[in-house]
Structure 1
């Protein structure tokens, strides 16, 4: 392993000078800087960011904890996080933390030891236990989830978004709309979206028909069959994640139901999954990559990040149309 002393020896300077150059400090000539940078490149030297963090009371690492709510959703948030982190000279440490809003205390303890510059939670609420394990000095922010009161967060108005999606299906002429809900433990996302669906259906004087999935692909086919058993005459299904929406489209076509001629399908999130199914999935879009970027920007600022409500929008593709009787 190449050490700072190896670089110093090759550049003909002291280890302290190498440290100043690597960390962007002052106290050396332009010629010395060039020699050190050439030595770093020639020896493929990588600074020990952990040791540097211990000395500077903060490392150049941002932690991201991503529950397995949707690989596609987490991936797009991560794209934004990594872009903004790289622009700011930070690295990203990702931890997968299991289903729903659970988390691994071990990740937080590691990030605390590492003196992380901040931690981003994807679709998970900040809990008192998280704050206790991480300590009070490391900033925390949640992405793709919000409650507007308790913790720093960046998300859309989930209730309004689900309400708008349901209203879109009603406006197409659908009266029997089934909802495929997500993780029931996610009270700040899926329960809020369910409320928006119920409100729109109640305003239209139509009954709510719903079954529970868990936001992931494999949960959708059995939930769809339960939904159709409850109301065989449904003309539309609103799935509260694109992964479930894609699974619904595939399963309906497998059992001989045409999409959207027999049943329309609407998803949620506008992840890449929405365009990896045929027909391409109509969906409610949230700006996932921009949320990730903004989370990094707010973590690294010295101001209270607060709660940020992002815009959502409806994207119509090939899976929604008026019901067959209206054609």
Structure 2
């Protein structure tokens, strides 16, 4: 493997000269052409990560995610990575495994690794987060959650839920269950629930019960089974596609047919929701595009450009076969 020392020896210059060239430092035109030619001939490729860490201004963006086994997370990361590459930045991913303590630790660790900025796919923002952001003193962008003190990019959870509610009403459903998640998660636990509540409130004839589960499909199966047995709604509106998939499984286990006996909706627009039968009606969020937008925003912040404090990503209601019309 060719090294900087090899390049320096072939060019007849010091290693520090080659290093300055690789980091866009001051090098004469003649020396620059000589080094470029040798690099071309040898096929030398610098270690961008190490090179960036040694530089005063790095080109690394730290990205903290709550979990890696998530469709939304993986699509968002793809978008971030693709866009950062266009800006000649590198992405460094850190997984918190849904632990707030580990998430805070990752913030400090990335700062010590001299990242230029941090993108945080957060579930919630605590005082510990705000303290960490102030201490590290580098640009931070939240994705999926918002806070008035931090630049944020969010999915329009409230409006998407409002439109789901209007669709449910248009289909004639009157006895409705909403299966959400903890309100510690502002976006999914509060904003989606509130958007749906406000939408359903436009019809005084509706009977609605609100329930809570975790993000896990197994938990959704258990809770939706209890809802079906105790409440017998005509539709269960689920706060995520995974919860909706768990609900559909519970319905099948109870011998119910979807949507004949029970209608189901979700949020997310995961690829699998269009492949299962019946296809799931859902609010589709564009996670990859959101990741691309997040990458653009964090690079603008690193460069000192002005961006909006709050940015919304797009969504679309996908109408499929999982919702029946009630006469």
State the TM bucket, normalised to the shorter chain.
0.7 to 0.9
Q: Secondary structure at the match of 1:20?
A: helix
Tell me which residue corresponds to 2:47.
Answer: 46
* Structure 1 residue 181 displacement after superposition: 0.3
- Structure 2: where are the runs of 5+ without partners? none
Residue 278 (str. 1) matches residue 281 (str. 2): no
Measured at CA, do residues 102 and 309 of structure 1 come closer, stay the same or move farther in structure 2, by a change above 3 Å?
A: farther
Structure 1 pair 100–241 and aligned structure 2 pair: CA distance change class (3 A): farther
Name the counterpart of 1:226: 226
Q: Confirm or deny: 8 A CA contact 2:143 2:294 kept in the other structure.
A: yes
Instruction: Map residues 1-327 of structure 1 onto 2, 5 A cutoff.
Output: 3-25=3-25, 27=27, 28-29=29-30, 31-38=33-40, 41-42=43-44, 45-47=46-48, 49-50=49-50, 52-56=52-56, 58-68=57-67, 71-99=70-98, 103-134=102-133, 135-146=135-146, 149-205=148-204, 206-232=206-232, 234-301=233-300, 302-305=304-307, 306-323=309-326, 326=327
Per-residue CA distance 1:18-42 (angstroms, 9 max, x = gap)? 2233234452446424334236625
Distance 1:45 1:188 in 2: 41
The TM-score with structure 1 as length reference comes to 0.87
* Mean CA deviation greater in 15-24 or 160-169: 15-24
CA distance in 2, matches of 1:210, 1:144: 23
**Distance between the aligned counterparts of 1:137 and 1:50, measured in 2?**
22
> How many corresponding residue pairs?
319
Change over 3 Å in CA distance of 1:157–1:103 after alignment to 2: farther
CA–CA separation in structure 2 for the residues paired with 1:110 and 1:123: 17
How well do the aligned residues superpose, as a CA RMSD in angstroms? Answer: 2.6
- Is there any run of 5+ residues in structure 1 with no aligned partner, and where? none
Measured after TM superposition, the shift of residue 127 of structure 1 is 4.1
SS in 2 for 1:204: coil
